[in-house]
Amino acid sequence: MKLRILIIVLIIYCGTQASGQDKDVLRVFFLGGQSNMEGYGSNDDLPDSLRGAVNNVWIFHGNPIRDDNTSGGIGRWDSLRPGNGAGFSSNESVNELSQKFGPELSFGYRINQLYPEDNIAIIKYALGGSSIDSLASRDYASWEMDYRSNSGINQFDHFLATVNNAMGNRDINNNGLEDLWIPSGIIWMQGESDATVTEGIAEHYYYNLKRLMDLMRATFHDDDLPVIIGKISDSGLAENGKVWKYGELVQHAQEEFVRNDRNAAIVRETRNYDYSDPYHYNSDGYINIGIEFANTVYLLDKK
């Protein structure tokens, strides 16, 4: 595992140290987490401005799948467009778009407005139900690097595979110029699964989150890479009125992480969203949170 991280770090480091002359400079963002990053917005609900491909923004969406599967993180670069939400799948040849979208769509649209002179590249890997504590893992979907079930492949390996496969293409828009990658932010929307099992797991969320963000920053060779956290919220649509039993503990851990990290920020607008079911925001929520992610990482970059 450590060798794989080192290989990716060296790839990114060497690429970003090269001269930008006669190269395409790409501002790169990683979007990850569980189902509310995966996205359950309906493509039918999109405004006209988001119905087609987003100009000058590309996405590599790693194939999302449970642990113990070698196809996790496989994919190919494409123009950002609707269909990268729940139900998306990919292989080395074809991206199978779905009828859903996630925060990536409005994020890409807005970040392109904020950086009009830059090329934008989004790397996405998210899986519904995944946890960052192996003790909360259901159906083998854990981001905990040291966790091993059967084959030894988990969600962190799928993240590494996604980044490695994305970085393997050095001309994502096929214009004949080599790409120069500038990692610019990690956007993380996750925590609900860690708020459902035991109080102890929820209380451990801060440690797990910090360690995971440290590892992700190391993968992009930048210990100060901006991190934006999407604060989990509760729809109140369970029979007893509360979906995430220990949600407040995870929310506290997310706030603590941001307080203690000099280059992190949190998006809290989720508390105002309507839901399409007990677990997932409605389409307007996904549009809004993508915009807020973009605004927040931009302000952090300009701080």
- Please state whether beta strands 100-101 and 41-42 pair in parallel, antiparallel, or not at all (unpaired): antiparallel
Helix (H, G, I), strand (E, B) or coil at 95: strand
Q: In sequence order, what are the residues at sequence separation of 6 or more whose Cβ sits closer than 8 angstroms to the Cβ of residue 124?
A: 30, 31, 32, 37, 59, 60, 61, 62, 84, 102, 104, 162
User: Among 26, 47, 45, which residue's Cα sits nearest to residue 167?
Assistant: 26
User: How far is residue 177's CA from residue 173's CA, in Å, rounded to a whole number?
Assistant: 9
Q: In sequence order, what are the residues at sequence separation of 6 or more whose Cβ sits closer than 8 angstroms to the Cβ of residue 55?
A: 112
Tokens of 34: 């569980």
User: How far is residue 50's CA from residue 245's CA, in Å, rounded to a whole number?
Assistant: 35
Q: List, in sequence order, the alpha helices (H) in the chain.
A: 2-17, 35-38, 103-114, 155-167, 199-203, 205-219, 247-260, 283-302
The residue behind tokens 């930008």 is 20
Helix (H, G, I), strand (E, B) or coil at 172: coil
Tell me what pLDDT residue 294 has. 98
Tell me what pLDDT residue 17 has. 45
Q: In sequence order, what are the residues at sequence separation of 6 or more whose Cβ sits closer than 8 angstroms to the Cβ of residue 210?
A: 257, 260, 261
The residue behind tokens 């300009």 is 302
Q: In sequence order, what are the residues at sequence separation of 6 or more whose Cβ sits closer than 8 angstroms to the Cβ of residue 275?
A: 235, 237, 281, 282, 285
**Burial class of residue 39, CB neighbours in 10 A (0-12, 13-18, 19+):** buried
User: How far is residue 33's CA from residue 265's CA, in Å, rounded to a whole number?
Assistant: 16
Segments of the chain scoring below 50 in pLDDT? 1-20
Which pLDDT tens digit goes with each residue over 91-107?
Answer: 989 999 999 999 999 99
Pick the CATH number of 2-18+26-302 from 3.40.50.1220, 3.40.50.1110, 3.30.1330.10, 3.40.50.300: 3.40.50.1110
Q: What are the extents of the domains in the chain?
A: 2-18+26-302
Tokens of 19: 């001269």
